[in-house]
Structure 1
């Protein structure tokens, strides 16, 4: 699915070469803190005084004001600076200031050139390095690996459980995700992998091809095979030769689009011990996507956002057009993805395909998910009713990332640091280790 729209303005680094030497005695950390304070006071002219020439052109006071407005609309009013740290990026001194807003914490990255002028400014959700309480770091090890197809990944291996171990491949949703499926400050695949490793189950997660090799998808026709399925099979190939892993107990967990594709993958990987479907569409992609856009438009308070969402909905509607062909320009379609991709998905019916399989399945859904909703979950249940080796779990308080919340969900919820709920980790581990989750 489309990644949740954070509607946070990320002011991209605009790095400019030094123009002249200037001795400024002020410490960059103090300068960056003052910049944040000026933004909080809406002194945009003062805040931009120390921008270098290039950034002054790209981000004059009026654009800086608009960017700040977009940030505070989603993250809430600025509260205070929580902490600062510095790092070096080539010739730039970068000050990272973690700021508390009413609804979320954001990291402001301020890059200073040799003249201590602001050369770049970026706001992004603050990433927490804290692990969930259900993870026991002493119970596993992590190893960097490379898939046969060349993608980098991480193998999490329990060190207390007896080998050979059951193992799970983690399959991404849409978009160029990293191995942790990082979204804002949240890392749901890391939580799942380490939660399972703490319970004696190995896992393999990896960076998606569209992230590592984006050039392979530029000006090209491709489908979910090139984007996802070939690399999923490559990951299974890697696990089958690992001595720690029981090749008879290999599972695949797919989230969102990844879960939608699991029945298709299982038709080619018949020896997979089980499929774990997390928040996966059961309906045509166009239906799910337009529902998602309608929801976002209904909860948005910005006319600019509503106009953007309406334009995206027009693109989604084209996926239903009987005249859609490979000649349709990618720019007219969702996310600029070529027509070959959507034409490949259009005839695919995930629940109907799953019904033809004998593979055990665990299907999980969060009831507060606005991207893939209970409508899809109920369709999975209806088509697969009566199958003794298919289990369904619905979680009342969980969102698309299987993280807990309350009330109506807004996109800003994804800016809050959280973790996959422990009940999900427990249910996954129980099913994987049970006889219902194994092939004879």
Structure 2
């Protein structure tokens, strides 16, 4: 007779590392957060992640959703005493990753949940092809061309241009992938879309080595958007006379310059962009953050003074030399970078503008402002028949609707959401009605 002494054995001796990880996941799915902490967290992890925090983080990603499946499950023996388990969990509307680090006693010394992402699949009516923007150059960028499956003739196309900072082809930020949403939605309307990884995302080290504090938006953004336009126009499936630029945030600010310096686009779509200098927007953002986040009056006054000092530095950029600008920062941005950006006169460009332009703005955007930036566009474009301006109540900087406790803060971007369908529909309809 074989006697199983399971009751006399410790879980460490019974369970493999995979079984231990699955046990933790199952307990979390059953909302047994206290048991997870007591039975599986090492003392240091119990001190750093409270039961309430664990429950809140888990439920923020799974509330109202039904578990579908574990899509991937990988283990890695990092050292003799540490094992790492990573799993991707799919729910009805979202998916997220769980990363667990077990010590030699089968206790968790590390536990992390990734930001949730909407669970979506490529629609059957569209397809995607791998592309390379700037192929053969020093700064090749991988990307995707999204196309409708059925095409009776050449189709119009758009090039998506990122906002500030390093960004992948989807312009992913926390739980959002706005460029993926826009690309799929426009392709379903019969419009080809090019999106690609930003140069600062793929070649950050090379750019620092090559340019240092002489880096400008031309090397960061403009040149690649021009190359993407050339790539689109060279594709026989695309109507080369109907290639448009769709720029988001910084990409929207730069869209006129990109067009003038070689993009040669048929028209411009500016999403949450501004005709104001970026340092002026940064000043407003800093003041708003200080007012909302700092409670102590002495500290608030101190930070306001620092913001005013940065603002004065920004206003001096036009007068100082290039070398001096290279050696200074303004609101965390290099002075030379900002000085170069300010050389393009958006107001003068508007005066001479003949191409069609579409300006879109979320009214709940707390990064680029409806009451300052959008209204300034309205003022500058007044009387321009080729200009269309639309604002959307309830939509934020990424044109996602959000109502909840994190409203007006970066934390709202951590709640899974997608670009509003009405925005994508409006972009598509506007493009399709532009004459060849």
TM superposition shift of 1:242:
0.8
Larger radius of gyration: 2
Q: What residue number does 2:7 align with?
A: none
SS in structure 2 opposite 1:182? coil
Q: Could you say if the C-alpha distance between residues 162 and 29 of structure 1 is closer, same or farther in structure 2, counting changes exceeding 3 Å?
A: same
- Do structure 1's residue 390 and structure 2's residue 387 form an aligned pair? yes
Does the 8 Å CA contact 1:326/1:338 hold for their aligned counterparts? no
Contact 2:248 2:272 in 1 (8 A): yes
Matching residue of 1:93 = 85
Question: Mapping of 1:13-412 within 5 angstroms?
Answer: 23=13, 25=15, 27-31=20-24, 40-41=33-34, 48-49=41-42, 62-64=47-49, 83=67, 85=70, 86-88=72-74, 90-91=76-77, 92-96=84-88, 107-112=97-102, 116=106, 118=108, 120-130=110-120, 137-148=123-134, 149-218=139-208, 220-221=212-213, 222-269=215-262, 271-300=264-293, 310=303, 313=307, 317=311, 320=314, 322=316, 326-327=323-324, 333-335=330-332, 337-374=333-370, 375-406=372-403, 409-412=408-411
- How far, CA to CA, are the matches of 2:151 and 2:62 in structure 1? 47
Q: Which moved more, 1:381-390 or 1:250-259?
A: 381-390
Give 1:18's aligned residue.
none
Contact 1:369 1:400 in 2 (8 A): yes
Residues 380 and 69 (structure 1), Cα distance of their counterparts in 2 relative to 1, 3 Å cut: same
**Deviation for aligned residue 1:405:** 3.4
Deviations 1:131-161 (A, max 9, x none): 6xxxx81221111111124100000011223
* Superposed displacement of residue 78, structure 1: 9.7
Structure 2: gaps (5+ residues): 1-11, 78-83
TM-score, structure 1 normalization: 0.77
Secondary structure class of the residue paired with 1:386:
coil
The Cα offsets for residues 279-310 of structure 1, whole Å up to 9 and x where unpaired, read as 0022121221122233334444887xx98x94
Q: CA RMSD in A?
A: 3.9
SS of the residue 1:414 aligns to: helix
Mapped to 2, the partners of 1:268 and 1:394 lie a distance apart of 28
TM-score (norm 2): 0.77
**Residues 122 and 332 from structure 1, CA distance in 2 versus in 1: closer, same or farther, beyond 3 angstroms?**
farther
SS in 2 for 1:27: helix
| 1:51-71 Cα distance to aligned partner (Å, 9 max, x none) | xxxxx5xxx654445x98699
Shift of residue 217, structure 1, vs aligned partner: 3.4
